[in-house]
Amino acid sequence: MDMTKRKLFGTDGVRGEAGTFLTAELATALGRATTWSLEAERPQVLIVRDTRESGPMLEAALAAGIAAAGGDALLAGVLPTPAAAILARRLGLDLAAVVSASHNPFGDNGIKFFDGRGIKLGDEVEAEIEALIDEAPAAEKPGHVRELKGGLADYLRELQAGFPLDLSGRRVLLDCANGATFEAAPAIFERLGAEVETIGAEPDGRNINAGCGSTHVEALAERVAASRAEIGFAFDGDGDRVLAVDGSGRVHDGDELIALAARGMKARGELEGGVVVTVMSNFGFHQAMEEAGVDVAVTQVGDRYVIDEMQRREWKLGGEQSGHIICSDFVATGDGIAAALTTMRELGAAPLADAVPMQKLPQVLVNVEVADREAIEGATAVWEAVEREKASLEGRGRVLLRPSGTEPLVRVMVEAPTNEEAEAVCERLAGRVRQELA
């Protein structure tokens, strides 16, 4: 078997509709197979979850599988995804599992795993787990399932130790997406002295990400503009990403927050190398980093690929335009709350509206529906057109054309000095894709 090929695991664990694709039976099988793959005599496995109504069911099923394979399942309840990584490392556990579908609607759910260092499992390990799904036997001596108390307090202590800030007098609005940050985010900002107002902090099992959070940041932007708050942060459902809003209601994406952190860390001599981003990062980000003397490495889309490249290069900072921001000095995965506190640290007393770490170029994205997205690889006329447009934008912008990973779409993205030029280039390329593949 090719150990890198996976059918269940995607770029962020096993995810799908709860009860149909992600059933209790599959969760139990995943718990058993994953625990069986560990070399520990009696594996200690942490489980955290977000606020979806299917969470307790899948948590129980996953715990049953862990115990059946001879491990101890430690249930920490609702906590942000990065808390699982931090607690696994802090408590010396063998594994941490997160029951969450991140920014997806409430009907979906997922399961992802972190090793004892707080790092997401690699492709080969996930492939090995898949191979054991139908083969892992039950242990002669089953393990235990028990509640782990104090997980939130431990996570808050780690945040306060990592970000010893004085936010007295700062007025902050937090959109917790009715998800996993609804307790932790307000608690740490208040503990650091900020005056905190929240929205999306009343989860009912079905309202996670519903018209709120980082996937609907317009709700926060409107609220900040009409409130006394000077800054706002919007988290996603599991708390591993964040976007920011300044006092006027303007949204600042992951590129801008990473650029802000990179400039500050570079100035203090803390960066150690450069920064890792994905192919989706704005061309203006690259221009700003060049001006600041910061090296940039680029990966395919997905925070796991950013993390892998950071580890390979031994760099400390990386992330995605969508708001996954990783500062490995704190935790080796995206942490929305830590990224928000990083932003506050870099701003000092200045308002976010005054911070201009980069100038974004206008970006136009078109999704072209095609019969076979994989056929784009052999579409010579399309790639010749792409090369012509790249040449015309060299030093002024960029072109990105790639197939969707899951849908029959080819995504065409263009950045240029003006929106008009970006739209014109994008439409020419989209037309060529339609002509060749539609």
Helix, coil or strand: residue 425: helix
What angle, 0 to 180 degrees and rounded to 10, lies between the N-to-C axes of helices 336-347 and 81-91?
A: 90
Q: Give the whole-angstrom CA distance, residue 243 versus residue 134.
A: 41
Q: Check the CA dihedral 299-305-306-310 and report its sign.
A: negative
> Is 102 annotated as catalytic?
yes
Indicate which residue of 37, 102, 281, 322 is catalytic: 102
Q: How many CB atoms lie within 10 A of CB 164?
A: 10
Buried b (16+ CB within 10 A) or exposed e, 97-107: bbbbbbbbebe
Distance CA 166, CA 194 (A): 8
Give pairs for 247-251: CB < 8 Å, separation 24+: 247/351, 247/352, 247/353, 248/353, 249/221, 249/222, 249/224, 249/225, 250/221, 250/353, 251/217, 251/218, 251/221
Q: Which residue blocks in 38-91 are alpha helix, DSSP H? A: 55-68, 81-91
The residues carrying an active-site annotation are 102
